[in-house]
Amino acid sequence: MDDSGMPIDRINTFVITDLIDHSSATANQKANIIIHIERWAASRNIDLQDEMAGSFLGQSNLFASFIKHLQTKVVDVQGETVVQMHPEKVCPDFFNHRLAVTVSYFTDLFDRNVARRRSNDPVLPNWHKSFENLIKRLGNRKIKGKTQSLVHGLTPLQQKTLFYALEKDGVINWNKETRIRNRLIILILYETGVRRGELLSLTIENCHTREYKPYIYIKQNVKYPDPRKDIPDTKTLERIIPISKELAKMIDEYCSIRSLKKEARKQPPFLLLATRSPCLPMSKGALNNVFAQIRKDIPEIDRLRPHILRHTRMENLDRHLLRQGYTDDQKSKIKNLIGGWSPNSKTGENYEKLSTEEQAYDALSALHIEIERGIS
């Protein structure tokens, strides 16, 4: 909206037409980038719709100012954007993402300007040339290479600490019913490596616990109405993930307890519900609170979050595949399937940092032993 609270047509049109097929989280992120772009334009008294039919950010100082704005982190304090004395830059990957959204948004504005002109309008060739030059300049600003994740999963010792706390009464400040549900949450994330949105979207019917080899089926919910304000999304591909018989048993036990409350039986069949009335499907905030309580009560794992368990799952899998002697191609296919990535994706490499470091340590230790033996 503008300063008077009125909707800005070009932003709303772009969001509706270009972002309609994206998940709500992705659409919100891209919409926020567009707002970030428009804030820069407002600070310069520039109408971007007119700019895409005029100078096309042709002035060097204007273009440099825009790029600097794209590099700058947004700081909001109580809903107000704050200008930083020493602005912090976004990471290279996110800057590149902002550039990509910028190109899409500018292209939309330009195409609408062209659509208002006759096909033989003499200004169009110059417009197209200027716009192509702008897109080329933006492309040249893209930061080459890909930033590598430095996130580690839990170490084996931290994993033991976590499960000791989950099994032992009184270590984490939960009542009995909450403890049963939260222990199930941790086990599902730990065993399967699913994302937060995938966990919260999981329905009872997609938990196949009575099969000879039990599994869960991860997919976007399109079947049931979701009463949550911030509806969780599944970011990765639909897939089947095997689970242990112990986890299958825990899911069945939790479902039995879940069905005891009349209010819970009225809810859509999402697996995880709030324990308090009216027993709504569990929200992202409530899930975050589960992890906040664990971090508070177990300082040894103060970085625990749902995504850390996803890294832990993939690192444990990497250790197992190494012990079993799988080839790199086989390991890549298995990880991509379980992680929900495309078959040729290299994303899994960012999810096995700790296990890779362990392998490097073991390899160097073995080399040192060989050297010492050779010297002696």
Q: Any idea what DSSP says for residue 60?
A: H
Q: Residue 51's pLDDT band (boundaries 50, 70, 90)?
A: very high
- What are 292-333's pLDDT values in tens digits? 999 999 988 888 999 999 999 999 998 899 889 999 888 888
Q: Which of 247, 260, 179, 175 is nearest to 216 (CA)?
A: 247
Which pLDDT value is given to residue 340? 83
* pLDDT above 90 (res 201): yes
Which pLDDT value is given to residue 54? 83
- What are 132-142's pLDDT values in tens digits? 999 999 999 98
**Adjacent-strand bridge partners of 81:** 76
Which pLDDT value is given to residue 8? 60
Residue type (1 letter), 203:
T
Query: What are the residues whose beta carbons fall under 8 Å from the beta carbon of 71, sequence distance 6 or more?
Result: 89, 90, 95
pTM of the full predicted structure? 0.64
pLDDT > 70 fraction of the chain, expressed in percent and rounded: 86
Q: Which residue has the higher pLDDT, 287 or 368?
A: 287
Distance CA 14, CA 9 (A): 8
Q: Which of 48, 40, 46, 106 is nearest to 70 (CA)?
A: 40
Q: Angle 44-45-48 (CA atoms, 0-180°, nearest 5)?
A: 95
- What are 91-120's pLDDT values in tens digits? 788 888 899 999 999 998 999 899 989 988
* pLDDT above 80 (res 6): no
* pLDDT above 90 (res 199): yes
Backbone torsions φ then ψ of 216, nearest 5 degrees: -115, 150
Which pLDDT value is given to residue 145? 63
* pLDDT above 80 (res 248): yes
Which pLDDT value is given to residue 162? 94
Q: Which residue has the higher pLDDT, 3 or 224?
A: 224
Q: In what order do the strands lie in the sheet with 239-242?
A: 207-208, 215-218, 239-242
- Whether a cis peptide bond, with omega within 30° of 0, leads into 92 is no
Q: Which residue has the higher pLDDT, 98 or 9?
A: 98
* pLDDT above 80 (res 229): yes
Please state, rounded to an integer, the average pLDDT across all residues of the chain: 84
Work out the angle between the directed axes of helices 306-323 and 176-192 (0-180°, nearest 10): 50
* pLDDT above 60 (res 2): no
Which structure tokens are listed for 350? 């960012």
Q: In this structure, are strands 207-208 and 215-218 parallel, antiparallel, or unpaired?
A: antiparallel
- What are 121-131's pLDDT values in tens digits? 999 999 999 99
Which pLDDT value is given to residue 222? 82
Chain position carrying tokens 């039919």: 53
* pLDDT above 90 (res 3): no
Which pLDDT value is given to residue 346? 77
